[in-house]
Structures are given as structure tokens and as C-alpha cells.
């Protein structure tokens, strides 16, 4: 990667205002020919715009996946909770595995009503290509967090247990869970607070729409408005930044494929494949140590992030001391 050809998106220095809503928005235009990392004022990479691979098969496969999404979006099998939710009024199907609140171990997400739909999507070349792009971009631009997440995901998958085997969406993905969003997707302002707070969520836009006039991704606290064309991928810390997207025209369609990791999955791995309550009974000393470490978890998570200079030198994350010098 020639970093000199990847222009940075620097978070603007925001002057104080009587209301955060009064602060201006800054627009980033696409398409760009190289990935564009989003960096904060200290130089830490906190997100990235990823261009489609320069490969004719990617365009064909992404179009085929869009065609599948269009066909499957006409299904009447969506539940009321899948049609209306905190992210907006559009059908969304989540599959893979996760650890929901209140559960004692990870579970496969129920897919009885959508088994054929999910199987068709997962077997498509477009799904595998996009998953590969999302994972590759995560590993390249945020290697410290990628390693942290991938290691723990593999620990959970390798756990010897009586529970049903957990189902990956693709063989080597670091993301346990995938969401497919159908029809004319327009997300309301939200944060995905169940996701890992310092992890990245990977979003790929699919559709037929004019990206100059609709479908923009807005990162609210950063005051960034980003054009988001079909086939592009954007990675963001979705648990900590309020995000939404603008609507497209009535005659247009915009859908999306997203991969993410719940924070509970990583805690489960850190707890020797137990919940907090289970670890307290299994290993009280480790439970107390983990609880004590939580006050400094934010420092640890910042230490996993990288700067452009770190990536040039092959460093995977930064030392905490370097960040606070």
C-alpha cells in the first residue's frame, strides 16, 4: 500500500457552540480511487472508507448479490420486529452467532423462517467477496483491534461444549454476526451499543441510486457526511459514534450488508468462556481482576489503535504510554 496515495479524512476541530446540533457538517465526496482512513486530531485511525477492489469479478458479484437482495426483500416472512426496529423501518435479518444479554453461552441466531434466504446469500460469490473485503480492510487499517477480536472469536469457536456448534458466516471471518438490510434502507440516528465499544462495524452499500444526492453516511459526533456509493465499504466504531444515512429517491433502492461483533462475545472469551456470573463461581480471583481492569479498559482499547506511521512501520497498535506522552 502506497500511503501517500491514500488521502486522510481528518476530523475537523469543532469550535464550541450553544448546541452540538448548531455545529456545521463537513462533506466528503466519493468515489475515491484509494482507501481513505478517518483519523482524529492525534493521528489515530478511527475508521476507513474502502474502495471496491480493482477487479471486474467484484463488480459482477456485488451486482449479483444486489439482485438476490432485491428478490429476497419481497418475502412476506419478515416479522414485525424485523420490519421495524431502532435502526429504521426496513426489513433486517441478522444471522451467524452471538451472545445476547441474559444468555449463559453464545448461540446461533434463529433462522428457521429465513433459512433458504440466508443459505442463498451466504453461498453467493458476492457475499464471500464482500466479507473478504470487510475483513481485509479491518485487518489492514486496524490490526490491533482485529487481532484482539479475531483471537477471542477463535477461542469461543474452539470451546468444547455441549451446546450446538456455532456457525460461521464465512470460514475465516473475524465477525461473528452479519446483518442484511433490505429494500430502501434509511437508518435513523443510532449507536449499536451492544457491539464492542472499540470494535469496528463493516458496512457495504448495495443498490441503484445516485450517491451524490442520497444514501450518505453521517457520523454525527464527527460532523462528517460521507458519500457512500454502491459497492463501497465503510468501517466505523458503531457502538461509540452516532450514525445514520440519508434517504434515496423514491425510484431508487439502497440496501446494505453489515458485519459486527457483540461486546459480550469478547467478554465471554476473557472470562474463560463464561459469563461474568459464571466466572465468579469458576475463578473468583480472575473475576475480581477482570472487574478491576475495567476502569482502565479505555486505555487498553486506545492502545490497540494505529496511526498511519504505525502502519508504515509494521506496528500493530500503539503503546498506551505513546498515546499519552
Structural domain contains residue 103: yes
Q: What is the pLDDT of residues 158-211, one digit of tens each?
A: 998 888 999 999 999 999 999 998 888 878 788 999 999 999 999 999 999 999
* Domain-located, residue 186: yes
Residue 233 burial (CB count, 10 A): 25
Q: How far apart are CA 106 and CA 265, in angstroms?
A: 7
Dihedral, 305, 307, 308, 314 alpha carbons, nearest 10? -60
Burial of residue 62 (CB within 10 Å: 0-12, 13-18, 19+) is: buried
Q: Which residues sit opposite 253 in a β-bridge? A: 208
Segments in the chain below pLDDT 50: 14-20, 319-325
What is the CATH number for 96? Answer: 3.60.130
Per-residue model confidence (pLDDT) at position 24? 58
Q: How many CA atoms lie within 13 A of 224 on its CB side?
A: 26
Sign of CA dihedral 196, 315, 30, 54: negative
pTM confidence score: 0.88
For residue 138, the enclosing domain spans 3-14+23-320
Strand blocks (E) in 182-301: 201-208, 217-219, 224-226, 233-236, 243-245, 253-260
Structural domain count of the chain: 1
Torsion of CA 243, 229, 201, 136, to 10 degrees: -160
Confidence at residue 85, expressed as pLDDT on a 0 to 100 scale: 59
pLDDT for 16 equals 44
Say what the pLDDT of residue 30 is.
64
In a domain, 85, yes or no: yes
Asked if residue 325 is part of any domain, the answer here is no
Q: Kindly state whether residue 309 falls inside one of the protein's structural domains.
A: yes
What integer pLDDT is reported at residue 128 of this predicted model?
Answer: 96
101 within domain boundaries: yes
pLDDT at site 323:
40
pLDDT attached to residue 1: 59
Contact at 8 Å (CB) between 107 and 177? no
Going from the C-alpha of 314 to that of each of 36, 118, 124, 309, 318, the distances in angstroms are: 19, 38, 34, 9, 11
Amino acid at each position: 500500500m502506497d500511503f501517500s496515495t491514500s488521502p486522510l479524512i481528518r476530523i475537523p476541530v469543532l469550535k464550541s457552540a450553544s448546541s452540538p446540533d448548531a455545529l456545521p457538517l463537513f462533506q466528503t465526496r466519493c468515489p475515491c480511487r484509494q482507501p481513505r482512513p478517518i483519523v482524529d486530531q492525534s493521528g489515530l485511525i478511527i475508521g476507513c472508507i474502502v474502495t471496491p477492489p480493482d477487479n471486474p469479478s467484484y463488480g459482477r458479484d456485488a451486482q449479483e448479490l444486489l439482485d438476490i437482495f432485491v428478490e429476497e426483500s419481497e418475502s412476506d416472512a419478515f416479522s414485525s420486529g424485523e420490519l421495524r426496529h431502532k435502526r429504521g423501518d426496513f426489513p433486517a435479518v441478522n444471522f451467524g452467532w452471538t451472545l445476547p444479554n441474559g444468555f449463559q453461552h453464545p448461540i446461533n441466531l434463529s433462522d428457521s423462517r429465513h433459512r433458504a434466504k440466508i443459505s442463498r446469500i451466504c453461498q453467493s460469490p458476492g457475499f464471500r467477496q464482500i466479507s473478504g473485503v470487510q475483513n481485509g480492510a479491518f485487518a489492514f487499517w486496524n490490526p490491533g483491534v482485529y487481532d484482539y477480536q479475531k483471537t477471542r472469536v477463535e477461542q469461543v469457536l474452539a470451546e468444547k461444549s455441549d451446546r450446538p456448534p456455532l456457525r460461521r458466516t464465512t470460514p475465516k471471518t473475524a465477525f461473528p454476526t452479519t446483518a442484511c438490510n433490505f429494500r430502501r434502507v434509511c437508518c435513523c440516528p443510532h449507536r449499536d451499543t451492544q457491539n464492542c465499544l472499540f470494535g469496528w462495524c463493516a458496512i457495504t452499500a448495495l443498490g441503484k441510486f445516485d450517491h451524490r444526492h442520497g444514501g450518505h453516511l453521517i457520523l454525527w459526533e464527527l460532523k462528517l457526511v460521507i458519500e457512500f456509493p454502491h459497492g463501497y465499504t465503510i468501517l466505523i466504531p458503531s457502538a461509540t459514534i452516532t450514525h445514520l444515512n440519508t434517504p434515496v429517491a423514491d425510484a431508487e433502492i439502497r440496501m446494505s450488508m453489515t458485519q459486527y461483533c457483540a461486546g459480550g462475545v469478547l467478554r465471554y472469551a476473557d472470562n474463560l468462556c463464561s459469563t461474568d456470573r459464571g466466572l465468579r463461581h469458576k475463578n473468583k480471583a480472575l473475576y475480581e481482576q477482570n472487574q478491576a481492569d475495567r476502569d482502565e479498559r479505555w486505555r487498553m482499547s486506545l492502545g490497540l489503535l494505529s496511526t498511519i506511521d504505525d502502519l508504515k512501520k509494521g506496528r500493530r497498535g500503539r503503546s498506551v504510554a505513546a498515546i499519552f506522552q
